[in-house]
């Protein structure tokens, strides 16, 4: 992976905060989806969970619970794009518009989720991030606390 991840489905209504990267979900809703929408949804569902969030949410268009209500704002990636766990619901139910660059990317992969290579995606940290409370990751490791509480931040 090179550079920043593209962002998908970060709509204003999902956290009641205007100015989200993808604007209002109401502007993205369409009457019909892409011809290969089911394959796009399957690709989104197959993404690698980057951050797992324990919460319950609802469909911000209808107010109903849905199949991704639990953990809805967990972050998922394919190594190139980043999206919320509930994005597949909005694509299959409301046919929200996806960026053409993302659609071309997925079609170029024949709708198959690539393996995520930790060494490229999350290089080993030599110092913990200040916001992480002393957590750092090494390749393939789970988060752990720095054993030296006086470790230089």
pLDDT reported for residue 131: 42
Q: What is the pLDDT of residues 114-143, one digit of tens each?
A: 998 665 655 554 444 444 444 443 434 344
Q: Which residue has the higher pLDDT, 49 or 104?
A: 104
Q: Round to whole Å and give the CA distance between 134 and 120.
A: 22
pLDDT higher than 70, residue 65? yes
pLDDT higher than 80, residue 76? yes
Q: Residue 3's Cα: distance from chain center in Å? A: 16
What b/e string do you get for 130-143 counting C-beta neighbours within 10 Å, with b at 16 or more?
Answer: eeeebebbeeeeee
pLDDT higher than 50, residue 11? yes
pLDDT higher than 70, residue 2? no
pLDDT reported for residue 35: 97
Q: Is the dihedral of CA 118, 120, 121, 123 positive or negative?
A: positive
């Amino acid at each position: 992976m090179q550079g920043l991840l593209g962002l998908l489905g970060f709509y204003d209504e999902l956290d009641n905060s205007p100015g989200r990267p993808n604007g209002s979900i109401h502007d993205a809703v369409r009457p019909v989806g892409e011809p290969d929408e089911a394959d796009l949804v399957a690709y989104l569902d197959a993404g690698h969970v980057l951050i797992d969030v324990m919460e319950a949410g609802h469909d911000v268009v209808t107010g109903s619970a849905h199949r991704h209500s639990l953990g809805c704002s967990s972050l998922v990636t394919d190594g190139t794009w980043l999206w919320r766990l509930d994005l597949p619901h909005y694509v299959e139910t409301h046919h929200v518009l996806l960026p053409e660059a993302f659609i071309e990317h997925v079609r170029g992969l024949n709708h198959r989720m690539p393996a995520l290579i930790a060494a490229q995606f999350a290089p080993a940290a030599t110092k913990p991030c200040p916001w992480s409370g002393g957590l750092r990751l090494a390749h393939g490791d789970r988060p752990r606390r720095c054993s030296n509480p006086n470790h230089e931040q």
